[in-house]
């Protein structure tokens, strides 16, 4: 049998590749297999915000940034507090300087003085990730770096994220941002490292007025679940169909 | 092998095999569907553990009271009992080992977060005892006259 150097190399390379192929490379995921891997998650984390109780002190934002090591002085934050001042002429004045990190200590809104007698209603609205049941941000991830855990929290895998920014664009609530240090997508995790140890989220713990609460929506005896079931609550941007799991008491039509 | 039809076919097969091999080597073994849907639950299972292992910084007032029982008792008797120790004293992290001492924020701005008066009907803010920061001893540190652990005005020295 004649074997030229050229054909020997060709065949050798071919068989080397073929031999190195594990059978699992050709495996396709079947839906049944995927379902079998699913345990029965006993918890579904949800959040309740009472806008009547929020005083705009901003301790939640400060605690969040320090707890989760979000660069303190850069204009990025996982949670923030918005101020809404509605005046007699029907105007809505909104601001959130530094995300409300240093609290609201001045009545001026964007250097504009608003006389007290002109104000018809004014309130603070804390915002954070809604941990949606149908998270738009997860659907768009091209690499599977962001996902929903069994207990409903949407997380980002920092080792897997390529920083393309699709999820940041997809979130209707604007809660995602690009982490300036890790160069990946960043978002509120409900303080996953705390809630899985039986602690409260840092913002919930820091709030002196109980305006923020976290609870297990699968437990009917949880105070948060009971409040959501028995009180009049609303969610943000319901029309998007994302099924947000952050519920608000006293949400105003002016809140966007 | 000289067939001009088969040659590109083999090349394509080799390419597919190469890509599948690279994928098998580079994708972690715990990467897959861990949940009810491919759309929302396709991820590396280790990422959940990574987030669970993130260090806790804010320990909560109960853990402060384990050693600083006198301070915990004094504030528990005051209106400021609703404020967490770490909101002013800073995150405890692994105190007393690391850091050995905490830096207390005694700034006027910290007090003004709640006590700068804002006339906001329907918000709890308008019900907190408040001052006009421009009128009430501007530039002074609140803690020089008021005791943060006992802010009762009648007990002021």
Report pLDDT digits (tens) over B62-115.
999 999 999 999 999 999 999 999 999 999 999 999 999 999 999 999 999 999
Same domain, A70 and A88: yes
Q: Is residue A201 part of a domain?
A: yes
A-chain residues within 8 Å CB-CB of B42? 144, 147
Name the pLDDT band for B154 (thresholds 50, 70, 90): confident
* Judgement on whether residues A125 and A197 belong to the same structural domain of the protein: yes
Q: Convert the pLDDT of each residue in A190-228 to its tens digit.
A: 999 999 999 999 999 999 999 999 999 999 999 999 999
A149 has a chain B CB within 8 A of its CB: yes
A2 is a domain residue: no
Does residue A255 form part of some domain? Answer: no
By the 8 A CB rule, do A197 and B55 touch?
no
The model's pTM: 0.86
Closest CA of chain B from A45, distance in Å: 15
User: Is there a single domain that holds both residue A86 and residue A101?
Assistant: yes
Q: State whether A78 and A180 are in the same domain.
A: no
- Whether B58 and A206 lie within 8 Å, measured CB to CB: yes
Give the pLDDT of residue B139.
92
Smallest CA–CA distance, residue A192 to chain B, in Å, is 6
Q: Residue B111 in contact with residue B125, Cβ under 8 Å?
A: no
- Which of A144, A164, A186 is at the close of a domain? A186
Q: Does residue A162 share a domain with residue A196?
A: no
Same domain membership, residue A122 and residue A57 = yes
Report the chain B residue with the minimal C-alpha distance to residue A210: B82
Taking a contact as any Cβ pair under 8 Å apart, which residues of chain B between 76 and 95 contact chain A? 82-84, 86-87, 90-91
> Exposure of A171 by Cβ count < 10 A (0-12 exposed, 13-18 middle, 19+ buried)?
buried
Residues A128 and A140 in one domain: no
Indicate whether A95 and A55 sit together in one domain.
Answer: yes
Nearest to A154 by CA among A163, A165, A141, A142: A141
Q: Kindly report, residue by residue over A183-196, the tens digit of the pLDDT.
A: 999 999 999 999 99
Q: A123 and A225 in one domain? A: yes
- CB within 8 Å: B53 and A193: yes
CATH number at residue A175: 3.30.70.20
A178 shares a domain with A119: no
Whether A176 maps to a domain, the answer reads: yes
Q: Is residue A10 part of a domain?
A: no
User: In Å, how far are A176, A204, A220, B93, B135 from A172, measured between CA atoms?
Assistant: 10, 23, 29, 34, 42
Task: Kindly state whether residues A150 and A123 are assigned to the same domain.
Answer: no
ipTM: 0.91
Determine the residue among B43, B60, B85 to mutate to test chain A binding: the one whose Cβ has the most chain A Cβ atoms within 10 Å: B43
Residue keyed to tokens 């991820």: B43
Structural domain boundaries enclosing A213: 45-132+189-249
In a domain, A99, yes or no: yes
Q: Taking 50 as the threshold, does the pLDDT of residue B143 lie above it?
A: yes
In this complex, do B124 and A209 lie within 8 Å of one another by their Cβ atoms? yes
Q: A17-45 pLDDT, tens per residue?
A: 888 877 766 666 544 444 444 445 689 99
Decide: helix, strand or coil at residue B9. helix
A101 and A50 belong to one structural domain? yes
Which residue in chain A is spatially nearest to B35 when comparing CA positions?
Answer: A38
| Tally of domains within chain A | 2
Window 198-227 of A: residues touching B by CB (8 A cutoff) are: 199-200, 202, 205-206, 208-209, 211
A&B contacts, CB < 8 Å: 190
| Cβ neighbours of B131 (radius 10 Å) | 14
Contact call for A25 and B44, based on CB within 8 A: no
HEC string for chain A = CCCCHHHHHHHHHHHHHHHHCCHHHHCCCCHHHHHHCCCCCCCCEEEEEECCCCCCCCHHHHHHHHHCCCCCCCCCCCCEEEEEEEECCCCEEEECHHHHCCCCCCCCECCECCCHHHEEEEEEEEECCCCCCCCHHHHHCCCCCEEECCCCCEEECCCCCCCCCHHHHHCCCCCCEECCCCCCEECCCCCHHHHCCCCCCHHHHHCCCCCEEEEECCCCCCHHHHHHHHCCEECCCHHHCCCCCEEEECCCCCCC
Q: What's the pLDDT at A39?
A: 46
Q: Decide the pairing of beta strands A45-50 and A212-216.
A: antiparallel
pLDDT at residue A35 in the model: 40
């Amino acid at each position: 049998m004649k074997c030229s150097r050229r054909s020997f190399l060709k065949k050798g390379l071919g068989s080397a590749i073929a031999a190195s192929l594990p059978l699992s490379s050709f495996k396709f995921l079947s839906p049944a297999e995927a379902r079998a891997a699913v345990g029965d998650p006993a918890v579904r984390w949800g959040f309740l915000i009472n806008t009547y109780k929020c005083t705009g002190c901003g301790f939640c934002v400060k605690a969040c940034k320090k707890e989760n090591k979000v660069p303190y002085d850069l204009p990025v934050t996982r949670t923030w507090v918005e101020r809404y001042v509605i005046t007699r002429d029907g105007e809505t004045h909104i601001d959130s300087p530094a995300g409300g990190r240093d609290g609201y200590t001045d009545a001026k809104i964007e250097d504009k003085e608003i006389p007290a007698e002109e104000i018809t209603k004014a309130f603070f609205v804390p915002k954070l990730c809604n941990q949606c049941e149908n998270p738009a941000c997860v659907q768009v991830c091209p690499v599977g770096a962001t996902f929903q855990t069994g207990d409903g929290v949407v997380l980002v895998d920092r080792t897997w994220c390529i920083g393309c920014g699709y999820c940041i664009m997809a979130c209707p609530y604007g809660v995602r941002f690009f982490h300036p240090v890790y160069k990946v997508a960043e978002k509120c995790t409900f303080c996953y490292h705390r809630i899985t140890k039986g602690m409260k989220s840092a913002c919930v713990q820091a709030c002196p007025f109980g305006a923020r609460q976290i609870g297990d929506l699968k437990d009917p005896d949880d105070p948060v679940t009971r409040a959501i079931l028995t009180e009049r609550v609303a969610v943000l941007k319901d029309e998007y169909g994302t099924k947000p799991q952050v519920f608000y008491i006293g949400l105003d039509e002016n809140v966007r | 092998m000289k067939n001009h039809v088969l040659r590109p076919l083999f090349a394509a097969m080799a390419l597919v095999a190469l890509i599948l091999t690279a994928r098998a080597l580079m994708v972690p073994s715990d990467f897959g569907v861990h949940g009810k849907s491919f759309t929302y639950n396709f991820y590396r299972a280790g990422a959940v553990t990574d987030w669970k292992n993130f260090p806790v910084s804010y320990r909560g007032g109960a853990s402060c009271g384990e050693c600083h029982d006198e301070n915990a008792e004094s504030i528990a008797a005051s209106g400021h009992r609703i404020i967490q120790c770490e909101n002013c004293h800073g995150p405890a992290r692994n105190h007393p080992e690391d850091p050995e001492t905490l830096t207390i924020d005694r700034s006027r701005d910290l007090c003004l977060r709640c006590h700068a008066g804002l006339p906001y009907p329907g918000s709890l803010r308008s019900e907190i005892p408040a001052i006009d920061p421009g009128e009430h001893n501007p530039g002074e540190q609140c803690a020089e006259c008021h005791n943060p652990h006992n802010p009762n005005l009648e007990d002021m020295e």
